[in-house]
């Protein structure tokens, strides 16, 4: 998984630079990271208007990189509340920012609310989730906190949130997100 991880770290560096931070600002939080890849399979559905592949959610990770097939169905929620379809492009990646990045930036970067619709054809995707080190303390970075913009999140250990959220996905389908 070295090449996908390099891509994930490069994206973290580009985000840091876009925020006016040093490129490696996020690296200490990801030294022994818990990043993972998983594959999603959505079989064809004869009544796609009555089904949902995966309900609306945000990714827990700082960043997730999706490789989509050409079947389509990936949708993101826009600021106006409407859903936009992400058009599949051969060889392209879909990059989402997640809850960890939202906390680091004290809401300057939002978690992307998204869902997957099923259709009349089989659908596959592969996702690389870039997650912090298990024992990392996650909180808004000092660069995003001041008198006019106090911290919106209390410091927490990544492992506690990560374990809690992942276990909750097996218990209920309406998983709470930071921004959905």
User: Would 172 be classed as within a structural domain?
Assistant: no
Tokens 């097996």 identify what position?
170
Average pLDDT for 2-29: 93
User: Would 112 be classed as within a structural domain?
Assistant: yes
* Band (3; pLDDT cuts 50, 70, 90): confident
What digits encode the pLDDT tens for the residues 131-162? 999 999 999 999 999 999 999 999 999 988 87
How far the first Cα of the chain sits from its last, in Å, is 31
Alpha helices for the chain (secondary structure H) = 2-18, 99-104, 158-171
- DSSP-assigned letters across all residues of 29-68: GGTTB--EEEEEEE---S-GGG--SEEEE--SSSEEEEEE
pTM of the model: 0.86
Q: Which of 8-12, 23-27, 49-53, 118-122 has the lowest mean pLDDT?
A: 49-53
96: tokens are 């989402």
CATH number at 82 reads: 2.60.120.330
Helix (H, G, I), strand (E, B) or coil at 96: strand
73-95 in b/e form (b: 16+ CB < 10 A) is: bbbbbeeeeeeeebebeeeeebb
* Band (178; pLDDT cuts 50, 70, 90): low
Q: Which domain holds residue 161?
A: 2-165
Average pLDDT for 61-85: 93
User: Reduced to 3 DSSP states, what percent helix, strand and coil does the chain have, rounded to the nearest 5?
Assistant: 25, 25, 50
User: Would 64 be classed as within a structural domain?
Assistant: yes
User: Would 45 be classed as within a structural domain?
Assistant: yes
Average pLDDT for 39-50: 88
User: Would 173 be classed as within a structural domain?
Assistant: no
Predicted confidence at residue 120, as pLDDT, reads: 86
User: Would 15 be classed as within a structural domain?
Assistant: yes
Predicted confidence at residue 98, as pLDDT, reads: 95
User: Would 179 be classed as within a structural domain?
Assistant: no
* Band (128; pLDDT cuts 50, 70, 90): very high
CB-CB contact of 127 with 149 (8 Å)? no
What number of H helices and E strands is found in the chain? Answer: 3, 10
CB-CB contact of 16 with 8 (8 Å)? no
User: Would 134 be classed as within a structural domain?
Assistant: yes
Please give the tally of structural domains in the chain. 1
Please, what is the Cα angle at 124 between 111 and 179, to 5 degrees? Answer: 15
Tokens 């399979």 identify what position?
41
143: tokens are 């660069």
How much of the chain exceeds pLDDT 90, in percent? Answer: 62
- Tell me how long the chain is: 180
């Amino acid at each position: 998984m070295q090449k996908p991880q390099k891509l994930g770290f490069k994206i973290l560096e580009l985000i840091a630079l876009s925020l006016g931070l040093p490129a490696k600002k996020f690296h200490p939080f990801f030294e022994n990271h818990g990043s993972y890849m998983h594959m999603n399979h959505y079989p064809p559905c004869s009544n796609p208007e009555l089904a949902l592949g995966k309900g609306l959610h945000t990714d827990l990770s700082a960043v997730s990189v999706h490789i989509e097939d050409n079947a389509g169905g990936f949708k993101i929620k826009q600021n106006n509340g409407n859903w936009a379809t992400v058009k599949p492009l051969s060889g392209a990646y879909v990059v989402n920012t997640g809850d960890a990045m939202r906390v680091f930036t004290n809401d300057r970067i939002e978690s992307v609310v998204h869902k997957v619709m099923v259709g009349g054809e089989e659908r596959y995707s592969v996702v690389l989730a870039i997650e912090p080190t298990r024992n990392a303390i996650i909180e808004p970075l000092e660069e995003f906190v001041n008198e006019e913009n106090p911290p919106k999140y209390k410091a927490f250990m990544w492992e506690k949130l990560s374990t809690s959220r992942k276990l909750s996905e097996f218990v209920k389908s309406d998983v709470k997100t930071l921004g959905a």
